Chain A
Amino acid sequence: MKALLGRDLRLAVRAGGGFGLGLAFFLMVVVLVPFGVGPEAAILARIAPGMLWVAALLAALLSLDRIFALDHEDGSLPLLATAPLPMEMLALAKALAHWITTGLPLVIAAPVLGVLLHLPGQAMPWLLLSLAIGTPALSLIGTFGAALTVGLRRGGLLLSLIVLPLYVPVLIFGAEAARRGAEGLPAATPLLLLAGIGLGCVALLPFATAAALRVTLR
């Protein structure tokens, strides 16, 4: 499993790996927000936690079809399937690699980009925490979606259509936690619920992902 993880990470940071793309997209969306809603600081501060969450979610979405597509194209997916590693662990490893290469940079970049949106200072740790707990769930759900659409031409748009409704609970609780943190209210409840969703995803989605992969590899 470590070998698989290392391989994916190395592939991601290489030239064609698209490592910085998610981060760049995150920046792009955050920059677009004031052009859309106007530069007034009060309004931006009000919507900052939610918009940062939406932007992070979309940036995570962008790199999802790379999870299995490259392996499918060069034929290494059947090889990985026949490896001694169980398919479920393969799915988990892929999701972890996606989180490390896309989710984690988003988490780190979020407070910096929050400055652009006048995010209140007291919201920063809460935003960080909510993203840190929420992005693994996003990666897991996204990996499931990628397994469903692997091997489809133009699968990217279908992937977004399938995955975005599944993202809604994570977004609701994550953004709520960030918003409550911004207003100084206790944010324990949404964070705990977010963590619950994340743990549920870790427990159950690898099995669904493995089932989907097995169908494609038949």
Chain B
Amino acid sequence: MSIWSYANPRKFLDTTAPWVPWLMWLSAVVLAVGLVWGFFFTPEAERFGSSVKIIYLHVPSALMAINAWLMMLVASLIWLIRRHHVSALAARAAAPVGMVMTLIALVTGAIWGQPMWGTWWAWDPRLTSFLILFLFYLGYIALWAAIPDPDGAADLTSVLCLVGSVFAILSRYAVNFWNQGLHQGASLSLDKQENVADVFWIPLLVCMAGFVLLFLALVLLRTGTEIRARRIEALRNRARRTGAVRA
């Protein structure tokens, strides 16, 4: 019994559907614990002020934004190589989740930036890379929506995901170059290399775990929805064809 047995939509649905409510509840609990702990039960950091607490939303969502695209890349490759429809639908399902994660990362970054640096937006490398990632997500989702033939859409969006991944990595380094060239040494983002004490780090880990669980729950739920939607489409087509023959 290998993991490829889950390429069968029936088996995928039967296995994952019961898990989704549990995952939803678990992620809700973990996130609630992590966020409440992080926002209310960590000491004030004199250096950063209390606005830094938004890091408990910002970092996990940024983490998931990148990981969602990586998951889409792997799923796209699996579709292109092994033609498993569940994989293509999983990529399609993950895209809006990843897009919203990117949006959360951008907005919480802006909310953090206003008290911290006095500006809602700064064209520093990390923020800019995330904005470009957001645009990649938009293009991917738009392409899925634009093509009527589902297999053709899966193929084209997979190729876009692949080429987009190459360009996303390229953009990350290009943006670093672009920013360094103008502002030597001015780094505005809180690097993980900075000394983040355990008392802040553990609630952060909990929040990250919560976001991972949330992503998992949402993608499994949405993939199931996509599979069922494809089934309805197939049944409709069949009814149309046999109905026409009968008439």
Interface of A toward B, CB cutoff 8 Å: 144, 148-149, 152, 155, 158, 161-162, 164-166, 168-169, 172-173, 176, 190, 193, 197, 204-205, 208, 211-212, 215-216, 218
Contact = CB atoms under 8 A, between A and B. Distances in A.
Given A158-B142, A176-B178, A168 B160 contact: no
Given A169-B167, A169-B170, A193-B177, A161 B142 contact: yes
B152 A162 contact: no
**Of B142, B163, B164, B178, most A-chain CB atoms within 10 Å:** B163
Given A164-B135, A212-B159, A215-B156, A152 B147 contact: yes
Interface residues of B, number: 26
Contact of B152 (A169, A172, A190, A216): A216
A164 B142 CA distance: 14
B177 A148 contact: no
A168 B171 contact: yes
A216 B142 CA distance: 17
Q: Which 7 pairs of residues, A with B, have the shortest CB-CB distance?
A: A169-B174, A165-B135, A162-B139, A215-B155, A172-B174, A172-B178, A169-B170
Contacts of B159: 148, 208, 211-212, 215
Nearest to B153: A215
Interface of B: 132, 135-136, 138-139, 142-143, 146-147, 152, 155-156, 159-160, 162-164, 166-167, 170-171, 174-175, 177-178, 181
A174 to B, nearest CB: 10
Contacts of A161: 135, 138-139, 142
B146 A149 contact: yes
B143 A162 contact: yes
Contacts of B170: 169, 197
Given A169-B167, A212-B159, 16 more contacts: A149-B143, A158-B142, A162-B143, A165-B136, A165-B164, A165-B167, A168-B167, A168-B171, A169-B170, A172-B174, A173-B174, A176-B178, A190-B177, A208-B162, A212-B156, A216-B156
Contacts of B181: 176
A155 B174 CA distance: 28
A78 to B, nearest CB: 15
Contact of B163 (A144, A149, A164): A144
A187 to B, nearest CB: 11
